[in-house]
Amino acid sequence: MTSTARHYDAIVIGAGSGGVRAARIAASLGAHVAIVEERFFGGTCVNVGCVPKKMFAYAAGLQDNFTLAADYGLSVGKVALDWDVLRDNKTREIERLNGIYRQLLEKAGVVIVEGSAQITGPGTVQVGELQLTAPRILIATGGTPFLPDIPGRDLALISDNLFYLPQLPERVAVVGGGYIATEFAGILNGLGASVTQLYRGDQILRGFDDDIRNHVAEQMQQQGVRLTLDTDVTRIEAVGEGRRLHLSNGETLEVDAVFYATGRTPKVAGLFAAGAAPALTEQGAVVVNAEFETSVPGLFAVGDVIDRVQLTPVALAEGMWWARQQFGNQRDVPPPSYENIPTAVFSHPPIGTVGLTEADARARHANVKIYRSSFRPLKYTLGNQQHRTLMKLVIDADSDKVLGLHVSGDDAAEIVQGFAVAVVMGATKADFDRTIGIHPTSAEEFVTMRD
């Protein structure tokens, strides 16, 4: 028997990107909303994901700028990283953002409930001794890092740990080939660690365009990352303060720390009481229909926990659409589209991409034309840095429509965000050709590519 019971129009479980947006929009439309959070406001992205990761990526890239300064005739003294300053300045900013997310919810009139939530039945959520009820419950709990079940897994670190290390390790292994592992390898290398990235596949960044994958791998190795492919870790053991990795190729690798970035799984552990869970996939993702409703009437889910597209802006769009559908009477507005979602990888070099890869385009279209441009940006031509940019357009040769646009190099994300508007609108190669370029820029390459 609960000591307290409260009733709402909607209960949102999880105060990450999707949950906060859904709660705020619903409250602004007049709903009485409660949001339950057990860890921190803003979710993974704000606290141990996108935001601190990009801060660290900025720091990792500054070494190049000091070299460039000398190339441009500016005297630069001795450069040394103070890890404590970087880490603590980051933490202070993240704490500020946490407070902002809380204030946004409070100003919107959302009731904040801190604690671990469990759905005990239709329309009912238990948080400690507090029972919450509502005709609509939205699950927005996100995901959690995955660690494979190998001997010594307790000796490995996950991506969350990087942002709070007491000191920067000198020798690091990063296990994984996705965008998080690739970003972390570049960050740690740029900050001065000796980095080995281990991946069981034949090339990193599966799912991205093959030319981009190869370009990033080549540039990373040129910058000092040791990339070991077709190799997995079979066992981890402690050696003094360090770690010894036993590899599938029979070799061993000794490092000071090993980070795992081998994917994320939906965060549903402990969320459902016996008999209260909706349909889940084999991987634990919550199954939803086009309106984000689960197999249990009145129970909905958005964001990484449904494992459609694990990106913060997608969770935001899903949460906002759900709230407007439920409380804004906007039934004629279609749900978010998962086509032509622009995305970025803050690797070294970074990636920006929107639309189809060349391989996907050839699988879907009979006649595909490719335009590529690879060059050394003007920025680096006064010195010896050999950073290069790769740009690529994927065109349907029958309709002339731009199917995909990909870039790896400086400012990739900023470039692609603008071009993504054109791709979403259905721009053609002729539209690109008619557009006057801004000279001298890297972005102008996309409007000057010719046969």
Interval 201-229: pLDDT, tens: 999 999 999 999 999 999 999 999 999 99
Q: Write out the two tokens for 76.
A: 């630069």
Assigned token pair, 393: 């357009």
> For 295-338, how does the pLDDT look when each residue is reduced to its tens digit (9 = 90+)?
999 999 999 999 999 999 999 999 999 999 999 977 788 999 99
SS3 12: strand
User: In which residue are the tokens 């700028």 written?
Assistant: 65
Among 307, 51, 17, 348, CA closest to 179: 348
364-408 confidence digits (pLDDT tens): 999 999 999 999 999 999 999 999 999 999 999 999 999 999 999
**Amino acid at residue number 274:** A
Average pLDDT, the chain: 96
pTM of the predicted model as reported, rounded to 2 decimal places: 0.95
pLDDT at residue 5 tops 80: no
CA dihedral 271, 274, 278, 281 (to 10 degrees): 80
Q: Which domains does the chain have, with CATH numbers?
A: 4-145+265-327 (3.50.50.60), 153-262 (3.50.50.60), 349-447 (3.30.390.30)
How far is C-alpha 382 from the chain's CA centre? Answer: 34
- Active-site residues: which are they? 439
DSSP 350-411: -EEEEE--HHHHHHH-SSEEEEEEEE--GGGTTSS----EEEEEEEETTT-BEEEEEEESTT
The predicted structure's pLDDT at residue 451: 87
- When mean pLDDT is compared across 62-66, 252-256, 272-276, 426-430, the lowest value belongs to 62-66
